[in-house]
Amino acid sequence: NNNNNNNNQQRLCPSSCNNDAPMLLFSTTAKNQDEEHEEEEEEQHQQQQQRDNDTIRIRIWKALSSGEEMSLKQLGAAVGERRLSDLKDHLSHVEKQARTLKNKSQQWRERRGLDTSTSTSTNSTSTSSSSSSNR
């Protein structure tokens, strides 16, 4: 136990001090934990900003990218769109995008939560069938 405390401490002594001078001991564990916590908070903040910056159509893509079918009402709740008429308009555009997935860049697909390692026709089919059944 005493050994662990020594491992987490550093000795500070000016270069001009001799071995008889008292040394200041401080713990680096708390500092490291604070830095890690700050990094985690910053990462979470950046992820939230990305979600906030996502357009309604990107949020639709992300909601449908799992391939699970959902009703328009469920989709609206998932993407934060309460007006079903607006959601239908956006969904229509997403369906058009799905038809041309093979022409979309990898970055475009990644931003929408689509699996870029498999064939794009699989994603197109599952997205179209999910959205078509919700009409």
Q: Residues 30-89: pLDDT tens digits?
A: 667 778 878 888 877 766 666 667 899 999 999 998 889 999 999 999 999 999 999 999
pLDDT given for residue 132 in this prediction: 46
Q: What is the pTM of this model?
A: 0.52
Classify 87 as helix, strand or coil: helix
- Which of the residue ranges 12-16, 33-37, 100-104, 112-116 has the most confident prediction, judged by mean pLDDT? 100-104
* CA nearest to 97, candidates 86, 111, 82, 77: 111
In angstroms, the CA 21 to CA 6 distance is 19
Rg of the chain (C-alpha set): 26
Q: Residue written as tokens 């639709």?
A: 60
Tell me: the pLDDT tens digits for 75-102? 999 999 999 999 999 999 999 999 999 9
Six-digit token string for 127: 């997205």
